[in-house]
């Protein structure tokens, strides 16, 4: 039996433990961004389906032992991991087709990594210190023994984007379930299958109780708004654009639910004058071409010493020229297609804007020759702009790198920090003390030094400033899904 629906059929919703079509029978088509061909369909949930999913999650949280049975939850998460790993090639094929994700990255964060990471969250469910003894204290003459318990928050609404759907879905489902919550997952309309195929495996091959995990695919963004406002939902965990994140936070305020936001970025690579310029620029080129630049933590500003600007521009342009967009199914491809025609138009709009703002496109800048199908854009390098330009300030979400000159370490830090965002970045330099000063001064949630890679399941990931609130992954990510209860006993 295959995970993908038969030709002409659609994937189901998962509501209250049952795999079901949308109540009104609605479906929507999902496309292959490398070919522009439809690849199949998904259930198109309406508000009534979302209402049923929230009710099921509420019921499962309030009436079962799920939140209290840590060992059972660990077992269920490992079952899910194992069942997905048994079907990994089918999932890989679907991910390449639906997301346009280069096959190379499906061996890491686009698929295999986040599935294996479920084991980390299963271990946390078993090993976490759920209760801490604060000892005895006397307050106004009353002696009390105090304990602090950590408990699940309740019903978690998870809203996710299309760019790394498995990574982001599992970075929410994994810790939320491990912490004892029940979940309603609403994936992005561009990538419903990534969630729906996992839902099918969870329903058919694990003991996860009915209502604990619900998956609601829909073409309608409004279902995300519904999840953000419904008072039966205790926490909304959202990954997406900063603009939508603000709408989620405002909507959640009505019922004062906790919000956890992973938003956009415009991260800088800071190259100091004693750095290995060649490696720094080559890595920056590779980074921005990865998955056609569709990653919130991808570095999109390259800040180099003014005296080395020409040399850095040449090295970077040469490296980008070697990263031409290709078929994502080809194991050598780094830069696949953008997700949709709409996204490509958005990126092309920024390429026009860059020139209107006085920038020069050094390489790339258009659709690759010989590829008349698929939403491909050449990896592009832009020079001649100031950091105050819109091109250097706004998130483009395509393979577009802006190179900017700096006049010393302090100026480089100023440029890196001159952004509404603060998600990620990189620092290159030869002198440890200077590098450490720069690392300490850049206001961003993750940084790689001289090629160091921070991404891993135990590393907290998230943003400063308008890149978000809270941290995903690691113990910090797990604790986002916990409440704190202090209990005092007389002695």
Q: What DSSP character marks residue 216?
A: -
**For residues 343 and 58, what is the distance between their CA atoms, to the nearest angstrom?**
36
**For residues 67 and 58, what is the distance between their CA atoms, to the nearest angstrom?**
12
Which are the catalytic amino acids?
262, 296
Q: Does residue number 264 form part of the binding site for ligand NAD (CB under 6 A)? A: yes
Near ligand NAD by CB under 6 A: residue from 14, 158, 173, 188: 188
Q: Is 111 helix (H, G, I), strand (E, B) or coil?
A: coil
Q: Does residue number 221 form part of the binding site for ligand NAD (CB under 6 A)? A: yes
Footprint of ligand NAD on residues 400-429 (CB under 6 A)? Answer: 423
**For residues 323 and 301, what is the distance between their CA atoms, to the nearest angstrom?**
18
Task: Quickly count helices (H) and strands (E) in the chain.
Answer: 16, 23
Near ligand NAD by CB under 6 A: residue from 247, 249, 329, 488: 247
State the Cα torsion 343-347-353-357 to the nearest 10°.
Answer: 140
Near ligand NAD by CB under 6 A: residue from 30, 32, 163, 181: 163
Q: Does residue number 244 form part of the binding site for ligand NAD (CB under 6 A)? A: yes
Cβ(292)–Cβ(345) below 8 Å: no
Provide the minimum distance between the beta carbon of 270 and ligand NAD in the complex, in angstroms, as a whole number. 20
Q: Does residue number 160 form part of the binding site for ligand NAD (CB under 6 A)? A: yes
Provide the minimum distance between the beta carbon of 481 and ligand NAD in the complex, in angstroms, as a whole number. 16
Stretch that binds ligand NAD, among 62-70, 124-132, 258-266, 354-362 (CB under 6 A): 258-266
> What does the angle CA 19 – CA 24 – CA 29 come to, to the nearest 5 degrees?
75
Near ligand NAD by CB under 6 A: residue from 241, 279, 355, 450: 241
Q: What number of CA atoms fall less than 13 Å from residue 419's CA on the CB side?
A: 32
**For residues 302 and 5, what is the distance between their CA atoms, to the nearest angstrom?**
44
At 258, give phi and psi (nearest 5°): -70, 140
Residue span 104-143 as binding mask against ligand NAD, x where in contact by CB under 6 A, dash where not: ----------------------------------------
Strands 27-31 and 38-43, sheet pairing: antiparallel
How far apart, in Å, do the first and last CA atoms of the chain sit? 61
For 218, 293, 297, 395, 416, the CA distances from 277, given in Å and listed in that order, are 46, 22, 21, 25, 18
Provide the minimum distance between the beta carbon of 278 and ligand NAD in the complex, in angstroms, as a whole number. 29
Strands 267-271 and 299-305, sheet pairing: parallel
Cβ(445)–Cβ(423) below 8 Å: yes
Provide the minimum distance between the beta carbon of 163 and ligand NAD in the complex, in angstroms, as a whole number. 5
Near ligand NAD by CB under 6 A: residue from 109, 113, 224, 374: 224
Near ligand NAD by CB under 6 A: residue from 183, 296, 304, 351: 296
Query: How many residues in the shown chain lie near ligand NAD by CB under 6 A?
Result: 29
**For residues 203 and 369, what is the distance between their CA atoms, to the nearest angstrom?**
45
Near ligand NAD by CB under 6 A: residue from 395, 402, 457, 480: 395
Near ligand NAD by CB under 6 A: residue from 397, 428, 478, 481: 397
Nearer to ligand NAD, 293 or 405 (CB): 293
Helix (H) or strand (E) holding 297: none
Q: Does residue number 478 form part of the binding site for ligand NAD (CB under 6 A)? A: no
Near ligand NAD by CB under 6 A: residue from 66, 105, 120, 162: 162
State the Cα torsion 316-319-323-324 to the nearest 10°.
Answer: 80
Near ligand NAD by CB under 6 A: residue from 30, 169, 214, 228: 228
Distance of CA 420 to the CA centre of its chain: 19
Q: Does residue number 265 form part of the binding site for ligand NAD (CB under 6 A)? A: yes
Stretch that binds ligand NAD, among 8-16, 44-52, 115-123, 224-232 (CB under 6 A): 224-232
Q: Does residue number 159 form part of the binding site for ligand NAD (CB under 6 A)? A: yes
Closest CA to 239 of 323, 167, 291: 167
Provide the minimum distance between the beta carbon of 322 and ligand NAD in the complex, in angstroms, as a whole number. 26
Provide the minimum distance between the beta carbon of 409 and ligand NAD in the complex, in angstroms, as a whole number. 27
Q: Does residue number 442 form part of the binding site for ligand NAD (CB under 6 A)? A: no
What is the sign, positive or negative, of the torsion defined by CA atoms of 476, 479, 485, 487? negative
Footprint of ligand NAD on residues 322-361 (CB under 6 A)? Answer: none
Provide the minimum distance between the beta carbon of 298 and ligand NAD in the complex, in angstroms, as a whole number. 9
489: left (phi over 0), alpha (psi -120 to 50) or beta: beta
Cβ(491)–Cβ(135) below 8 Å: no
Stretch that binds ligand NAD, among 74-82, 235-243, 369-377, 382-390 (CB under 6 A): 235-243
Nearer to ligand NAD, 264 or 429 (CB): 264
- Positions that interact with ligand NAD (CB under 6 A): 159-163, 168, 186, 188-189, 221, 224-225, 228, 239-241, 244, 247-248, 262-265, 296, 395, 397, 423, 463, 468
């Amino acid at each position: 039996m295959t995970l993908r629906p038969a030709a002409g059929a659609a994937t189901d919703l998962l509501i209250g433990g049952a795999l079901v079509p949308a109540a009104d029978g609605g479906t929507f088509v999902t496309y292959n961004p490398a070919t522009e061909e439809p690849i199949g369909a998904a259930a198109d949930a309406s508000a009534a389906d979302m209402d049923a999913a929230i009710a099921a999650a509420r019921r499962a949280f309030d009436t079962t032992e799920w939140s209290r049975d840590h060992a059972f939850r660990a077992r269920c998460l490992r079952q899910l991991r194992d069942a997905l790993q048994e079907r990994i090639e089918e999932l890989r094929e679907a991910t390449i087709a639906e997301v346009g994700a280069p096959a190379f990255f499906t061996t890491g964060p686009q698929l295999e990594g986040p599935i294996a990471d479920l084991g980390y969250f299963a271990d946390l469910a078993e090993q976490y210190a759920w209760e801490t003894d604060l000892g005895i204290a006397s307050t106004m003459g009353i002696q009390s023994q105090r304990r602090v318990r950590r408990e699940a928050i309740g019903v978690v609404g998870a809203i996710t984007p299309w760019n790394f759907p498995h990574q982001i879905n599992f970075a929410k489902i994994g810790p939320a379930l491990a912490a004892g919550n029940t979940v309603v997952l609403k994936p992005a309309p561009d990538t419903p299958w990534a969630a729906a195929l996992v839902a099918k495996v969870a329903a058919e091959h694990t003991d996860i109780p009915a209502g604990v995990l619900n998956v609601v695919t829909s073409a309608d963004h409004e279902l995300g708004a519904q999840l953000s406002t419904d008072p039966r939902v205790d926490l909304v965990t959202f990954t997406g654009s900063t603009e939508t994140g603000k709408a989620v936070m405002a909507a959640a305020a009505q019922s004062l639910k906790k919000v956890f936001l992973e938003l956009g970025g415009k991260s800088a690579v800071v190259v100091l004058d004693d750095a290995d310029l060649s490696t720094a620029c080559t890595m920056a080129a590779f980074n921005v071409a990865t998955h056609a630049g569709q990653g919130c933590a991808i570095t999109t500003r390259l800040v180099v010493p003014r005296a080395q600007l020409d040399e850095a521009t040449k090295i970077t342009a040469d490296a980008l020229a070697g990263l031409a967009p290709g078929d994502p199914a080809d194991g050598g491809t780094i830069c696949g297609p953008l997700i949709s025609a709409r996204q490509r138009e958005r990126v092309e709009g920024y390429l026009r804007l860059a020139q209107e703002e006085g920038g020069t496109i050094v390489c790339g800048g258009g659709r690759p020759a010989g590829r008349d199908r698929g939403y491909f854009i050449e990896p592009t390098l832009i020079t001649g702009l100031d950091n105050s330009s819109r091109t250097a300030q706004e998130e483009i979400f395509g393979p577009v790198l802006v190179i900017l000159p700096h006049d010393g370490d302090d100026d480089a830090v100023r440029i890196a920090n001159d952004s509404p965002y603060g998600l990620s970045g990189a620092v290159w330099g030869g002198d440890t003390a200077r590098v450490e000063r720069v690392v300490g001064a850049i206001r961003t949630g993750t940084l790689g030094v001289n090629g160091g890679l921070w991404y891993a399941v135990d590393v907290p990931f998230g943003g400063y400033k308008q890149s978000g609130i809270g941290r995903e992954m690691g113990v910090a990510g797990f604790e986002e899904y916990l409440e704190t209860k202090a209990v005092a006993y007389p002695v």
